[in-house]
Each structure stands twice: as structure tokens, then as C-alpha cells.
Amino acid sequence: MKELLKELYKSNHRDFEVWNYLWLFADESESIEFSHTELCSRFNIPLSSLSRVLKIYPERWNKDKVLVEYEKVEYKAFKVTFYPKGKKTTSAPTQTIHDDLYDWLKGHYKQIDFDYADMPSHRKYVKTICDKLQKAMKERNTLVTDQSTKDTFQFFFTNIDSWWKDNGTITLPLISKHFTKILNQIKTSKNGKKRDSYSKAAEQIDGIDFGKLARN
């Protein structure tokens, strides 16, 4: 990493200052978390330029081995991790249940004619919603498998009340935020009677203790 920073110092001193700061103030695990606003202010650099600086160099430096990782860890929080000795690149990960459900959701949103331009950046909420459904299933001693999770997840989304779409609140972050309320609406129809057609997924949803889930 030291040699790479030396080369960067010779070619672009402003970019060097950003990466040198991240390198020097990384913790014992060689990582540092920060906000873009913080770095823009510290180095008097526009956000667009900072984004380029943070993305372009890992692409240049990570060839045979990963030397630097740059990632978003939460809203407005980012993380850079250095691997001074290099981390071997691994083969592409296998498709996970969250990947499968994300692919399914793309078709679902298209089917309901919802233009969702921000969906790629909201992908992480697929796991968040899955985790909430699985937690609720476990609290009812329901067997949680990939298949039962997929069935429940798909039943959940296909039965969300049209009100949410009509009011533009059917994005993944908002569904996650209002999860318990939406789930309760799915469990009970407008007139207070249970929905007529129940698959195993419907029965799992029907048995969820919403009050307990909300308290957690």
C-alpha cells in the first residue's frame, strides 16, 4: 500500500491526501468508517469528485489481489478496508435466497406497473424484510426453510394492500419501515374476516404475533 500511495502522490496530490488520510487513520483492523460530507469538508472537495476518487483507485489497485475495499455500510456511512498483504480474489458467490427474491421482485414490480428506478440501491432491504418474516415465523415455531421463506415473502408482497402503491409508499425501505402494519393488513381483510384462500404461507402469516413483533 505504501508504494501505491507514493505513486499516487506523484500523479495526483489531492487524491493522495484523501487516500493517505484513510490509510493513516484506519483502525487496528485496517478499516475506517466515514461520511462523504466529512471528507468533502476536510479536503474541500466536491461530492462528485470525492465519489470518483473513492471508486477509481480500488479498481486500479485491485488486480490479482484485493488491496482496498470501499463499501457503503449504512445510510450516509461508508467504509474503506485495506489489505496490506493483499486478499486473494474469490470466485463469484453462489446465488442466495436474497438474490432469488430480488430477481423475483424485479418481475413483481414490473407486473404491478410500478416504476422503481431506485430498486438497485434498495436491494439490501430484501434481506431486512426476509429477516423480519423469519423472526415472526420462528416465534410461532414455524419451520423456517429457504422454500417456506420464499413462499411467505412472495405471499407477503403479492398481498400488500393497493393503498400503499397508490400512495407511492411501496418501495422496499418503506415496506420495511411499516412492516408490522402491512403484515397485519395482510392477515385480516377489511371487514375483519380472514382471507379465504390460504396456502401454507398464508397460514404462517396468520399465526404471527404482531404485538410481540412490534415490541421487538
Q: Is the Cβ–Cβ distance between 198 and 206 less than 8 Å? A: yes
Q: Is the Cβ–Cβ distance between 80 and 22 less than 8 Å? A: yes
Q: Which of 130, 127, 126, 136 is nearest to 214 (CA)?
A: 136
Tens digit of pLDDT for each residue in 9-68?
A: 999 999 999 999 999 999 988 999 999 999 999 999 999 999 999 999 998 898 878 899
pLDDT at 195: 44
- Domains, the chain, in order of start with CATH, read 2-88 (1.10.10.10), 97-215 (no CATH)
149: pLDDT strictly greater than 80: yes
Q: Is the Cβ–Cβ distance between 152 and 159 less than 8 Å? A: no
pLDDT at 192: 43
From the number of C-beta atoms within 10 Å of its C-beta (0-12, 13-18, 19+), residue 137 rates as buried
Tens digit of pLDDT for each residue in 94-146?
A: 678 999 999 999 999 999 988 899 999 999 999 999 999 998 888 877 888 88
